[in-house]
Structure formats: C-alpha cells, structure tokens
Structure 1
Amino acid sequence: MTNTLQLKGTSILVADASKHIQNVVKGILRQFGCADPVAVSDGSAALSAYRERLFDAVICESLLPELSGFDFVRAVRRLDDPVTAFNPIILLTSHTQKENIFTARDAGTTAVLAKPISPKLLFERLMWVSNDGRSFVRTPNYIGPDRRFHDVPVPAEQERRSDWLRAVEDKERTTAANHGD
C-alpha cells in the first residue's frame, strides 16, 4: 500500500449542516488534489446531488437535517446503478456510541470518521476506503460492503482491530474523564 493520495480528477460530495465543517473538509480535499468538492447542507440535497452527478465518493455527517446520513447511505445503496450505489461513503459523526457506529455499518457505510477531523485522519480514512477490498453484499435487508472484516487483509499500517471501535472507546473514556464519571 502506498502512502500517497492523489485526488486529482475525482469528484467528491461533502454533506454537512455546518458550513464550517464543509469548508474544513473541502479545504483538506483540495490539499489532496480534489479541485472542486461539492458541498450541501442536508440529506435531501445530498441525495438529489448524488442522483444528478457522478461522484467518486461521499463524505457525509450522520445527523443531517431532512434526511439523516444513515438514511442517505441506505438510499444510495439501493440505487439501481451499481457504479454509483457502491461508491465509498465515509460517515462523519460526533456521536460515536457503539449503537451509532453499528447503525452506520448496517446502513452500508464504507467507513466512519469521528469528529473532530484532521487532515491526517481524513487522509488515513480515504486511503483505507481507496484500498478497501471488501466485496459488496446485496440481500433483502442489507446492501453495502461486506461487514466481515476478518476475511479482509488488513492494510499494512493498521491493526486488525476496527478503528471504529477504538475511536468509540477512546471518545467514551475522554468524555467520562471530562465529566468526572
């Protein structure tokens, strides 16, 4: 696996209700070579934009207004066009309780990234999804990347244990320590 990421020529949709987060994510993507990331502020606008334009990937907030990020992912995964239905979707969230991570996974999210984000964390997640070798599963109850991580080789720089769960546990410990729980 290479440690370079070049997004020149890629089209990425950013969906977040916060203009500040939109600008941060778009700025990071531009640093990686994505010339013109498209940003929207709610889930309905994200789904409309996704249907109208061919995007290579999506970075969206889990709690979007009008249509949640979870519901957006489910809707994208159910599109008839397999080229667009199977594109990588990174879900951003400040709510990293295990239930939310599992909901994201079960919706068909490719990866989850806990807020606050940094260029390094977004780089790592983009590298991971670009090298993700999982096949897509289509069943009556689930459409998305195969959820069985143990069948997939782990990227060289990562441990076998899921980054998602480590982020959840770290955030829970930090929150408990800050609140004296």
Structure 2
Amino acid sequence: MALDLSIPVLVVDDYQTMIRIIRNLLKQIGFTNVDDAGDGSAALAKLREKQYALVISDWNMAPMTGYELLQEVRADPSLATLPFIMVTAEAKTDNVIAAKKAGVSNYMVKPFNAQTLQAKIAAVFGE
C-alpha cells in the first residue's frame, strides 16, 4: 500500500526558513496537507485541535524544545502513537539516544534532501 500523500503533516521549527525548506521538500515528495508551528507549545496547541498523521520537529527551539514536545506527545494518550520525526543540526549520540528513549519514530540530521526525507517518512510508515 502506498503512503497517502494527503495526510496532514505538522512541521515544527522556530526558524521560518527551515519551515519553508521542509514544506518545499514535502511538496516535492507530493504531500499536499502541511501545517507549521513556530515552537513546541504552539505545535502542542495545534495537535490538540486537529488530527495530524505525522510531526516533523526541530530539536532546538524555545520556549519548548522538540524533545520536550516529543515527551508531551508521548505522554498524551490521544497523541501517544503519532509518528514523530526529529530534525537536528547536531548528530550527537546522546541526543539520538534520548530521542529514541522518549519514543521518537525517526531522526534526521540537517542538511537533508527530499530523498532522505522521503526515506525517513517511508521507514516510519513501514513502506
């Protein structure tokens, strides 16, 4: 079964340029339903008002980091199984391990291209 490209995706990053880049990559892959949030707390508010099928979040943000957002998502029974891809500029082993323990679905290091993003999304959805 092919991945449904009309699924709602939430991109979370405090850097507007990065949101634009990820949105463009998602569009290249074929995704049509993409929302964004500027930080973890804004993302959490959106996640509680609309059902998303995937979250792609930056790690380093303020006031709520992507890691804290991931913890909140996993602690909420209505969001606990939501696929969550973490994006970071640093490939620190400690961060990868922490994110895995917190229940991240996949992990991507910047910079990345459409093929990498597509492969990470496909892996999350078992394609």
For Structure 1 versus Structure 2, the TM-score category normalised by the shorter chain is over 0.9
1:32 match: 29
Question: May I ask how many residue pairs the two structures share in their alignment?
Answer: 127
Classify the secondary structure of the residue corresponding to 2:86: strand
Report the residue type matching 1:113 in the other structure.
Answer: M
Matching of residue 122 in structure 1 with residue 117 in structure 2: yes
Q: Residue 94 of structure 1: CA displacement?
A: 0.7
Q: Residue 28 of structure 1: CA displacement?
A: 1.3
Root mean square deviation, CA, Å? 1.6
1:23 match: 20
Q: Which moved more, 1:6-15 or 1:89-98?
A: 6-15
- Percent pairwise identity: 24
Q: 1:29-71, CA deviations, whole angstroms, 9 ceiling, x for partnerless residues? A: 1222221310111111011111111000000001121111111
2:67 match: 70
1:99 match: 94
Q: Which has the higher contact order (CA 8 A, sep 6+)?
A: 2
**C-alpha separation in 1, matches of 2:33 and 2:123:** 22
**C-alpha separation in 1, matches of 2:115 and 2:122:** 10
Report the residue type matching 1:76 in the other structure.
Answer: V
Alignment of 1:1-181 (within 5 A): 6-81=3-78, 84-131=79-126
Q: Residue 10 of structure 1: CA displacement?
A: 0.5
**C-alpha separation in 2, matches of 1:33 and 1:104:** 27
Report the residue type matching 1:17 in the other structure.
Answer: D
Contact 1:7–1:32 (CA under 8 A) maintained in structure 2? no
Q: Any gaps of 5 or more consecutive residues in structure 1?
A: 133-181
| Structure showing greater Rg | 1
**Structure 1 ranges of 4+ moved more than 4 A:** none
Contact 1:73–1:89 (CA under 8 A) maintained in structure 2? yes
Q: TM-score, normalised by structure 1?
A: 0.66
Classify the secondary structure of the residue corresponding to 1:92: strand
Contact 2:11–2:22 (CA under 8 A) maintained in structure 1? yes
**C-alpha separation in 1, matches of 2:112 and 2:34:** 17
Report the residue type matching 1:131 in the other structure.
Answer: G
**C-alpha separation in 2, matches of 1:131 and 1:36:** 20
